[in-house]
Amino acid sequence: MKIRPFLAFVVIAAAMFILDARADTPNARDSDVAWFVGVWAVGAADRAGFGTIAGGPDCNGRTVRIVRAGATSITRISTLKSGERHEATFEVKDFRGSFPWWPVGDIGGPVARKAGADAFLLARTVNGKADWNNALKHIRCIS
């Protein structure tokens, strides 16, 4: 059957593209990585034409803590509804004014975009594109 060699070619080509993308996407500058460090309130992001029922981020509600994990990496720490602590470490990249967060040792993950001096949106990726329509808004909590 001739479909198998073609499928193998597609898989190999996709793997080469992903590895090439990883090599070509530069790490974020030190100042950009440091900007994400802090305590952040998390909530639904504003979406044009839609009202937010759940409300926006509130520092008295759900927060996450982001700490520096390395020269170009951060760890996002949150508490799940069950009370369990969740941590994820990411390499922060720089891509045309957005900041892809790649899980350490892997490729692909959410993408962050600054939304003011003390706010950013964090969107999951779907088929390699950031899903800004369903992003979470993070507001810096000042203690």
Could you count the other beta carbons within 10 Å of the beta carbon of residue 68? 14
Between CA 115 and CA 118 the distance in angstroms is: 8
Q: Which residue has the higher pLDDT, 42 or 48?
A: 42
Lookup result for tokens 């909530």 = 43
User: What's the distance, CA 17 to chain centroid?
Assistant: 21
DSSP state, 93?
B
pLDDT the model gives residue 100: 94
Lookup result for tokens 């509130």 = 58
Across all residues in the chain, what is the average pLDDT? 81
Residue 19 has pLDDT above 50, yes or no: no
Between CA 107 and CA 128 the distance in angstroms is: 10
pLDDT band at 1 (very low <50, low <70, confident <90, very high): very low
pLDDT the model gives residue 80: 86
Alpha helices of 25-124 — where are they, by DSSP H?
Answer: 30-35
What are the tens digits of pLDDT across the range 80-125? 888 899 999 999 999 988 999 998 877 678 999 999 999 999 999 9
% of the chain at pLDDT higher than 90: 48
Q: Which residue has the higher pLDDT, 39 or 14?
A: 39
